[in-house]
Structures are given as structure tokens and as C-alpha cells.
Amino acid sequence: MSPPRERHAHLDRLAVATLLLCCAVWGLGQVASKVALVEVPPLLQAAARSLGAAVLVAQWARWRGIELLQRDGTLGAGLTAGLLFAAEFGCIFSGLQFTSASRMVVFIYLAPFVVALGMPLIARSERLDAWQSLGLLAAFAGVAWAFAEGFQRPSVGQRQWIGDALGVAGAVLWGLTTLVIRGSRLSHTAPEKTLFYQLAVSGVALALASWLHGEGWPARLSALPAGSLAFQIVIVSFASYLLWFWLIRHYPATLLSAFTLLTPVLGLLSGVALLGDPLTTRLVTALAAVALGIALVHRGEPARRVPNRRTSQIDTEL
């Protein structure tokens, strides 16, 4: 057992490199979800993704000697985070039926604004300064401009706005999940246990929702949808989320969430290149605003380095 580690007050090279990798994976994740929807219904796909990844996390934790079922006072927060996670991906996968993967990945990255608004209530040291706040507002304005397109000149279909709205709802739920993790005893536990809570609880909840909606497993699963589902389970839900929770535990959540605004750029490029999604002026404008927002967020002064009283007593390294 190692002594508590001081949280980093800024993003170092390791954090930036890890974030870039995660952003690239998450951008491709929306494309993979859209591809698999051809044969696998949305809620069932989300359930299979969570349950499959939960099994991998359990095996990883067993290999690392990490106890997942030990009583440590995190059950309530774990169930809450898992249900929020289930609702988030229920919105995202359902929304992909009405909007493009490129648009979806832009809207769900409104999550940093939810985190930025809520984090000062949890950790005062992570309050944004004027430049950083301006950066988030610039990115939000760009995304709002793109959202209006779903009502005025839809590029995907007349019900595009429904998918866009579900993307926004997913973003809010993602932001709330991050706040629950940082503001509860989950911030004291290993990333593997936090992720296992989310995957196991969301998998069961989504499977139940899929059954209630009458979804069924496809009679045949061709190679491309099967590969897309495997990519979501192993790379997105298992590997990249473990990295993400490790980052949340060691670096300022507000700066991490702001940096993930790069994902829409990579997701848009993936959707256009791999799925032939329409590239509209409004969407490009939104991405330009996101890029400006990131620049302004990281122009602000980093938070003063302070010992983090919420750091886990167990020093987990990936």
C-alpha cells in the first residue's frame, strides 16, 4: 500500500499522449456503433458492449490482484454511476438511429461544460479562470450553432433533431457521471472497480431495457458488425475507459474534460471518411469553435497544486 499521491495540477506529456489516444478511440467508437446498428439493435448493442467489457475488467482485476467485491462504502455511488452510464449510452445508441455518427460525436462532447459547472462545488482548486470559461463558452456556441441545423436544414433526415437531442442528453449524463465519481468515495478506489461498477450495472440495466422494448439478437451477424462490436467491447469500453478513469484519478477533471473536445474533430473525420457522413458548414464551424475553446482553456493559468484529499489510498498504475 502506497502513500496518497499528490494530484497533478496540470496535464503533463503522459496525460496529453494518453488523452490523444483516448480521443482517437472514442471518435472511432461512434462510427463502430453506427456500423453495428445495421444488424444489432441499439439497446442490445449497448448492453452487449457493457457486459462484455465488464467480464474483461473482472479478469484484468483478478490478474492484478484488485478486489472488486470488497465492501468499502462505494456501493451507492457505484450504482448511481452505473445507472447514469446506462442512461447515457441508451441515449447515444438510440440517437444514432436518427442522426449521423459525425453529428453525435460533436453533441456528446458537451459533457465538459457540465463538468466545468459542477466541479467547483466539489473541488475549489479546479475552478476555471476567465480565459478558460471563455473557451468553454466558445465551444458551446459552436455546438449550439450545429444543433440548430437539425431543425432548419437537416442533412440526415427530418428526425435528425431527435438524434441530436439524445446526443445532448447523453452529454449531460456523461458529465454527471464524472461528477459523481469525483465527488464520492469512488475517487478513493481503484479505476478498475469504478469502471466495473459502471459496466456491470449499465449492462444489466440496458439488457433489461432491451428486453422490455422487444429487441432480439440478430439471426446472423456478419463480419463487419461483429468486428465493430468487438472493437467497442475490447478497445473502447475496456482499454480506453480504464485509461480515462486513471486520468481522472491523477489529473484535474476540468482540464481533462476540456481536452476531450478534440474527440469531435477526430470523430467527424472518421464519420466522413468511413461512412460518407455529410460535411456541412455548420458542423465545420462547430469544430472550429471547439478548437478555439481548447486553446483558450489551456491558455488559462493551471490550478494551484494542492494535495488531493480524495486520492486513493491504493496507488494503481496502469
Distance CA 139, CA 238 (A): 29
Regarding predicted confidence, which is higher, 256 or 215? 215
**Mean confidence (pLDDT) of the chain:** 80
Tens digit of pLDDT for each residue in 23-68?
Answer: 889 888 888 888 898 899 999 999 999 999 999 999 999 998 988 9
Tens digit of pLDDT for each residue in 105-114?
Answer: 777 877 777 8
Q: Which range has the worst mean pLDDT, 15-24, 160-169, 239-248?
A: 239-248
In the chain, pLDDT over 70 holds for what percent of residues?
A: 83
Q: Which three cell numbers stand for residue 30?
A: 461512434
In three-state secondary structure terms, 158 is coil
Query: What is the mean predicted confidence (pLDDT) over 93-117?
Result: 80
What are the domain boundaries of the chain?
13-215+223-297
| Burial of 117 from C-beta contacts in 10 A (0-12 / 13-18 / 19+) | middle
Query: What is the mean predicted confidence (pLDDT) over 236-247?
Result: 87
Query: What is the mean predicted confidence (pLDDT) over 87-94?
Result: 91
User: With 70 as the cut, is the pLDDT of residue 149 above it?
Assistant: no
Q: What is the pLDDT of residue 147?
A: 65
Question: b/e for 63-73, b at 16 or more Cβ within 10 A?
Answer: eeebebeeeee
Q: Of 93, 136, 150, 173, which is closest to residue 299 (Cα–Cα)?
A: 136
Tens digit of pLDDT for each residue in 166-196?
Answer: 998 999 998 899 899 888 888 778 888 988 9
User: With 90 as the cut, is the pLDDT of residue 253 above it?
Assistant: no
Whether 199 and 265 have beta carbons less than 8 Å apart is answered as no
User: With 50 as the cut, is the pLDDT of residue 80 above it?
Assistant: yes
Q: What is the pLDDT of residue 158?
A: 76
Regarding predicted confidence, which is higher, 247 or 205? 205
Q: What is the pLDDT of residue 182?
A: 83
| Burial of 162 from C-beta contacts in 10 A (0-12 / 13-18 / 19+) | middle
